[in-house]
Structure 1
Amino acid sequence: MTRRIVTRDGTGLHVRESGPVSAPVTVVLAHGWTLDERCWAPVSDRLVSGHGNLPRVVRYDHRAHGRSDDTPSSSMTLEQLADDLAEVIAQAAPSGPLVLAGHSMGGMTVMTLAQRHPELIAERVRGVALVATASGGLGGAATLGLHGRPAQAFLAGKQRVESSPRWTERRELTSHPLLMRPGMRAMLLGRRPGPQALRLTCESIAGCRPTTVSGFTPTLTTHERDAALAAFADMPVEVMVGSRDRLTPPRLTHRIRQHLPRSSMTIFPDAGHMLPVERVGGVATRIAALARQAAAAPSERPADAL
C-alpha cells in the first residue's frame, strides 16, 4: 500500500507500507542520498515473507527524492530529514515498538533523529541498523577525495555546472539509466554485482533531481554526530558495511563501533556501498533479528531508562 504524507511545511512524502498492520513491530527503512525507497524493496520483501510474527515495514522517499515533493535548498538538511522521519513515524506508525534502519544518508538521518527527537528514541525505538553509513568524517566528499589544486579546480567546475540552467531546470539526471552502469559500478557497487543491484542503483540515481545532488552536499560534508550515537547505547544495534565501500569505507564503520562498543558489526566481503541491493539476504537477516528482539522486549522501558 502506498500513501502520501504531508509534513508540517507542506511537503508531500511518498510512503509505502507492507506487512500486517497487527504485527508487533514496525521496521522503518530510510534510503540514501540520490536514491529512493525502491532500493529497500528487496530487503522489505524478505522481511515480510518470512514466518512467525512478521514485522510491518514502512519505507518512504526523502523530500526531493523519488516520488516525494521537491523542496528549496534551504530545507535540504539532515535536520529537516530527521523531522520528516519523525512525522512519517507519527502518521504511518503512531504506536508500538520500532526498529529503524538507515542506509547511507538514511543512517545519518536516524542519528540526527536521536539528536532532535530523543524522546521518540527513548520511548519507542528498540533496535537500529546502520547500513553503509557514517557518524562523521565526510568532509572530503564534496571534492570526491581530491586535495590541493585538483580539489580547487574540481570545485570551480562543479560550481559552474550547478549554477547553469541545464542543471537547475532538469527533472532527472538522465533518462538513460543504462549509460550510468560503468560509473555506478565503479563508484557504488562491489565486485560482480547482480543484475538487480545494478538496475535498481542506476534507475534510482538516474531519476534523481540534479538540484538534490548539489543541495544535500553541504549537510553531508558537515555531518558530525558521534555524540548522537549515545542514544542507541542500550539497545541492539547492527552496523554493516561492504569491504569495497568507497563512500563510507570500513574505517568510518569502525568509528561508529568505537562509540557503540556493544553493537554487532558486519563487513560484507567484496560488497560496495549499496548493501540493501547487493547483500539482500545478509541485511534482511540482521534487521529481522532486531525485529524479533524488539517483539520479545518489554513494551515499555523502565522509568530510569527514559
Structure 2
Amino acid sequence: MSDHTVITEDGLRIHVTVRGRGDAPLTVLLSHCWTAEESDWHYQVTDLLARYGRDVRVITWDHRGHGRSDRAPESACTIPNLARDLGLVVDTCAPEGPLVVAGHSVGGMTITAIPEERPDLVPRIVGTLFVSTTSGELSKVTLGLPAVAGALLRDRLPFILANRSRMLSLSRREKFPTIERQIARRFLFGRPARSRDVAHVVDQLVHAAPETMSGFFKDMMSHDRIGNLAAFDDIPTTVLVGTRDLLTPPEHAAKIARGIRGARLLVAPDAGHYLPFERRELVSDELFVLVDRALARLVPQPADEAVRRGRHRARS
C-alpha cells in the first residue's frame, strides 16, 4: 500500500491510496459517497485483497473536500470537477491498462460525467459498477415523504448539517452527533443496520466540511448525465440499489440500467443508501464478477487453441 498526492487543475491536493503491484494487469478504481471518504469502500478493499492479493491494483481516493484531500470552495464542489480529478488520479497512479470503475452515490455520478470530461478514459474501461446512485433528476426525490414535506426537508438537511459544522466545534459535534445520527438512521440505512456501520457514517458526517455539504448538494440537484450513459454501451456494467434507498431510489438505478446496453440491475431487499456497508457480500461479489471477466479477457490464448478457433471460423 502506498499513499499519493495528486494536484488538481485548480491546485487542490487529492489524497490517493494505491494497493497492488506496479505492473498489475488490471486496476480497480473506487469512488466514494458524498460526505464520506475512501473508507466508504473498506469492506470491498479487504475482500478484493483477500481474493486477488497484489495481482490487481486497487485505488481509493478522497474526493476534493473530503477526507484527507484539501477542502474546496463551495463553487468548486461540482461533479465535473470530480470527473476531472478522477482522470488525474488515473493519469498519475494507473496511466496504462484496463480499468474497472465503481462509484457509490456521487462517486457513481462522477463516472457518468467521464464521457464529457475525460472521454479518453472510456476505451480503457472494461467494467463499471454503479452503487446507489443516479444519472439525474435528484430534484424530484422526496426522501420517501409526501411531496411537499419531502422536498422541503431534502433541501434543508444539507444546510442544517453545514450550519452545525460552521457554528459548533468539531469536539462538540463528535460528542453530541444527535442530528447526524438521526439522519443516518432515518435516511441513509435500511434494515438491518449494524451499529458500527451507522457510527462510521455518523463520524463521516461530523467531519464533512460545510462547503462540501452545501456545494455538492447544489450541484447534484442539477446533475443530468442521462445522455452520457450510451458511452458505456456493451461495457460489462452492473447497477445496484436497495429497495429502501431514499436518496437515490430504485427508479434511478433502473434508468441507468436502461440507458446502458447490456447492463444488469440488481435490487437488494430492505437495503438503504449505504450498500457497500449494508450488503458487503453483494457489492464485493459483483466487483469480483467484473474483475474476473476483465482478467479472463487479458489471458492470452494458447497458440493451438487460437489456430483451432481460426480454422473453425474459416469453415463456418
TM-score (norm 1): 0.87
Distance 2:159 2:256 in 1: 35
| Kept in 1: contact 2:174–2:203 (CA 8 A) | no
Match of 2:228 in 1: 228
1:39 corresponds to 2:40: yes
Q: 1:171 to 1:66 in 2, by over 3 A?
A: farther
Match of 1:176 in 2: 175
Distance 1:200 1:159 in 2: 18
Match of 1:67 in 2: 68
| Kept in 2: contact 1:102–1:110 (CA 8 A) | yes
Letter in 2 for 1:102: G
| Kept in 1: contact 2:144–2:150 (CA 8 A) | no
Q: CA deviation at 1:115?
A: 2.0
| Kept in 2: contact 1:181–1:198 (CA 8 A) | yes
Distance 1:199 1:159 in 2: 19
Distance 2:158 2:287 in 1: 40
1:291 corresponds to 2:291: yes
| Kept in 2: contact 1:170–1:209 (CA 8 A) | no
More helix by share: 2
Q: 1:153 to 1:296 in 2, by over 3 A?
A: closer
5 Å matches for 1:9-20? Answer: 9-20=10-21
5 Å matches for 1:153-172? Answer: 167-168=165-166
Match of 2:309 in 1: none
Between the two structures, name the one with larger relative contact order (CA 8 Å, sep ≥ 6): 1
5 Å matches for 1:92-241? Answer: 92-122=93-123, 124-140=124-140, 147=147, 167-168=165-166, 174-176=173-175, 179=178, 180-241=180-241
- The share of aligned pairs that are identical, in percent, is 34
Give the gaps of 5 or more residues in structure 2: 300-316
Letter in 2 for 1:221: M
Comparing 170-179 and 33-42, the one that deviates more: 170-179
Distance 2:193 2:162 in 1: 34
Distance 1:21 1:68 in 2: 23
1:265 corresponds to 2:261: no
Q: CA deviation at 1:295?
A: 2.0
Q: CA RMSD in A?
A: 2.8
Which deviations, in whole Å up to 9, do the C-alpha atoms of 1:244-283 show, x marking residues without a partner?
1110111111111111241111111111100111111111
5 Å matches for 1:51-90? Answer: 51=52, 54-90=55-91
Letter in 2 for 1:188: L
| Kept in 2: contact 1:34–1:208 (CA 8 A) | yes
Q: 1:178 to 1:226 in 2, by over 3 A?
A: same
1:99 alignment partner, SS class:
strand
2:174 alignment partner, SS class:
coil
Letter in 1 for 2:175: H
Q: CA deviation at 1:131?
A: 0.4
Distance 1:150 1:102 in 2: 26
Distance 1:78 1:292 in 2: 29
Distance 2:149 2:195 in 1: 38
2:58 alignment partner, SS class:
strand
Residue correspondences, number:
296
1:3 alignment partner, SS class:
strand
TM-score (norm 2): 0.84
| Kept in 2: contact 1:38–1:204 (CA 8 A) | no
| Kept in 2: contact 1:141–1:221 (CA 8 A) | no
Distance 1:55 1:268 in 2: 27
Distance 2:264 2:11 in 1: 38
Q: 1:176 to 1:16 in 2, by over 3 A?
A: farther
